[in-house]
Structure formats: structure tokens, C-alpha cells
Amino acid sequence: MIRGLRVASLVFATALAWCGLAPLAGVDDAWAQDTASAVVPTLSPPGAASAASGVRPAVLSVRIGDHGSKTRFVLEMTAAADFRIFALENPHRMVVDFAAGDWRATSARQPVGLITGHRYGRQQGGALRVVLDLAGPADIVDSFYLPAAGATPYRFVLDLVPTTPPGSTGRSGSASVAPAALSVPLPPRRPAPAVERRIVAIDPGHGGIDPGAIGASGLREKELTLDIARRVKARLEATGRYTVVLTREGDEFLRLPERVRRARASGADLLLSLHADSIGNPTFRGASVYTLSDVASDRQAEMLAQRENRADALAGIALDPVDDVTASILIDLAQRHTQNESNGVAQKVVEALADATPLIGTPHRYAGFAVLKAPDVPSVLVELGYLSNRREETQLRSAAHRAGLAAALAEAIDAYFDWRDPQRRS
């Protein structure tokens, strides 16, 4: 967010004209009299649907979540609409203007995280304005739509993080003016790296001669997992808090022990293995998260682990019998601390994915996946969905759906490390 910007009423009028909207009577009449406001217009992300689809956008429900390092504001909507965002000060507010929309939701009144309250009102021409009251100044981390999935409608997502106003220059009445050309929110300004970067290893499942699962219309698991891995890597590295290593950068076949070896050699603090499944039941769908266990949580989980582990024999080399290294790995992973860490990651992944895609029943499961047997690295395996389900395969082909999955996985990783190291939240 552009901070410390003082603008006159002429600038407000110009900004509103740019948005094509008039001040919202009865909702936020006082905003035009603010003595210090920052206007940060934000265009809707590429690919957002509009009311042109024939379905008028309407807000169905409101969810606000405190994720430690950030506050997430979610609107469930019948359709996506173009939107713009700007911030106001004295008091601090974030305003979201939708080009069209109705309000059918029951507003949540309890303060959550940075958001102390919210209001809405209709604008001229059928537009909808939503005003978030903030506990203090905030930066916009991300704003995007998650596509409708099954019974889950479109979701507008706005992520906010707290910021500290810039130090006083000692000159009352003056302000530092940010470049006028900036028309999108700046990424959060984090302090100089005082906290060591975490290393995250992401393992895109399958590759090379092993295509993995193949969808009803031909989508190959190895291509899907690599694309999602690259998206998660880009999101994590953009925060400046992580070094991300992919176990494979291209279409390469890797034995399962080699995947584990590469993750450990990188010094990874976390291993995230990405997969997509295919089964005989074409109606079954949903994402799930697995952690290691010698005893599978159910027969389906056991069969899935067997299928993934057998892929290692495709190059004509079967998995070795249990040797000293493997035995050591199994012993180490039996330790309660390592299991708790992996379970902590899985919990955060399930929570984040719930906002991005349907989940199977009991989405956190346990099985003996070989790729999860790193002795000293918390590890989870994420099944992104079922390619055998035509509807889910179509969604997994969608760039918007993939972006939503990547955003959820990056959020989960961030939440895990904040939980593990509370000092990172500051």
C-alpha cells in the first residue's frame, strides 16, 4: 500500500472518476473529509468472470480468518465481478468497489485479525461497495478470485498484513508522495532479513517415462504437478522469506529415494510432494493430504501408497529391500516430534485448501509413501484431485484453479512456519 500520501479533494474526485463511481451515501460519507488518505486502485485479476455471463454477482456469505501473519477476507459470490481496491486513513479502512453486485449475506460483526468490522452499500449503476474497518494501517498481499467448484461458489479473496507507518520527518503538514504511475498495491515491505530464510523442497510427482495418472481427456499428472510446483515456488520466493528447491525442474524420471535425497541435500525445512490420483470410480473427487504412517488410515490410502511406490520400478529398478539407511529413516520418523511436525503441516494445508477446492471426506490421511521417508524433514504429500473425474480434471486444466491451489499451498506453508516460529509474525 502507498503510505503517508496526503491528497486534496481534487485527487479524491479524480480517483473516483477513474473508478467510475460516486461516494457511497449512507455507508461512508465521512471518507471524503479525511485529511490523509491513500488511494490504491487495483484492477481485477486476469481471467475474472463478469456479469456478462448472465448471472448477476451477489455476495452470499462472508468469512474472515486470522492466519497469524495475515488476515484473509473472503466473499462467496454467485459470479465474479470486476473490482477495484483503495485504502483510506483517519480512520484506516480498505474499500472494495465491485462493478456490479447485490448483498445477500449476513454480516459477521466480531473483530477478526486486522478487520474490526465491515459495511456495504449499493452504488450508482448497480455497483457494490464494501468497506472494511481496520485496526491499523494494512498492506494488500493479494486479491484474487477462486473459481466455483461443485457446490462451492466463486470466492473473492483479499489478504491483508499489518504495516507500520513511515517515521515522522519532523515537518508537520508535509508528506512523501509516491510515484503517481503506481496503480497496483505494492508488495508488503518486510524488514531487512533478520530471520533466516526457510528452505522448502517441492516434489512434483512422476516425470519422464512415468506420466502418473492420466485424465479422462488426457491431462497427465506429471505435467500438472510440475506446473503447480512452479507456481507455489514463485509465490513463496516473492515473499522474500523462502528459498525453494524443486526436486525436478523438467520432465525427468526420478526414483523415490532420489527425490528424498535431493530434498535432504538442499537442507530443506519442509518437503511438499504434489500428486493427482485416478481411480475406477469416476464420480469420486476432492483433494487430500497424507502424512507418513506404517499403518494406512484406510484401504484406499494403502492402495494409493502402493501405486505411487510401484512407479519407482518403471526404469527397471525395483525398490531395494530395507537396508541400514531405510531402517534408520523408519526409526527416526517414528519419533513423536517428527510426526507432530508433519501433522502440523498437514493441518495447515487442509485448512488452506478448504477455501480453494473441494476436499474428500477426512482429508488428512496416513499411508506409507516412500517419498515421505526423509529422516529429518517434515513431509506431506498432497493429492490435488482426481483426474478420473471429468469435472475435476477440467478444473485442474484451468489456470485460475491452479493459481488458487498454488495460493492455498503457499498460504499453508507460511502458516506452518508462523506456527512453528511465532517470531516470524512480527
Over range 111-120, report the average pLDDT.
Answer: 89
Q: Band the pLDDT of 306: cuts 50, 70, 90.
A: low
- Report whether 289 contacts 412 (CB < 8 A): no
Q: C-alpha grid cell for residue 295?
A: 499403518
> Cα 105 to the chain's mean position, in Å?
24
Residue-level pLDDT at 336:
57
Query: Does residue 250 contact residue 356 with C-beta atoms inside 8 Å?
Result: no
At residue 54, the 3 state secondary structure works out as: coil
**Is the pLDDT confidence value at 420 over 90?**
no
Closest listed residue to residue 243, CA positions, set 211, 196, 209: 196
Q: Under 8 Å CB-to-CB from 213, ≥6 apart: which residues?
A: 220, 221, 276, 277, 278, 387, 388
Give 268's Cβ-side CA count (13 Å radius).
29
pTM, entire model: 0.53
The chain-wide mean pLDDT, for the chain, equals 74
C-alpha grid cell for residue 9?
479533494
Q: Mean of the pLDDT values across residues 52-58?
A: 71
Does residue 7 or residue 250 have the better pLDDT? 250
Query: Mean of the pLDDT values across residues 269-289?
Result: 92
* Per-residue confidence (pLDDT) for residue 124, from 0 to 100: 77
- Band of the pLDDT at 145, cuts 50, 70, 90? confident
Cα dihedral sign, 364-370-371-376: positive
Q: Is the pLDDT of residue 410 over 60?
A: yes
- Least confident piece of the model among 110-114, 175-179, 355-359, 393-397: 175-179
At 222, the pLDDT band (50, 70, 90 cuts) reads: very high
What distance lies between CA 375 and its chain's CA centroid?
Answer: 28
d(CA 146, CA 230): 19
Task: CATH number for 9-162: choose from 3.40.1030.10, 2.60.40.3500, 3.40.50.1480, 3.40.50.300.
Answer: 2.60.40.3500
CATH topology of domain 198-425: Aminopeptidase (3.40.630)
Domain with CATH 2.60.40.3500 in the chain: 9-162
CA distance 240 to 183: 22
Distance from C-alpha of 80 to C-alpha of 144, rounded to nearest angstrom: 10
Least confidently predicted of 165-169, 299-303, 361-365 = 165-169
Give the model's confidence band at 294: pLDDT under 50 very low, under 70 low, under 90 confident, else very high.
low
Mean pLDDT comparison of 20-24, 172-176, 257-261, highest-scoring range: 257-261
- Of 225, 266, 247, nearest to 371 (Cα)? 247
Beta-bridge partners for 73: 64, 158
Where residue 302 falls among pLDDT bands split at 50, 70, 90? low
Helix 336-353 vs helix 399-420: crossing angle, to nearest 10: 140
pLDDT for residue 351: 92
Per-residue pLDDT band for 7 (boundaries 50, 70, 90) equals very low
CATH 3.40.630.40 region(s) of the chain? 198-425
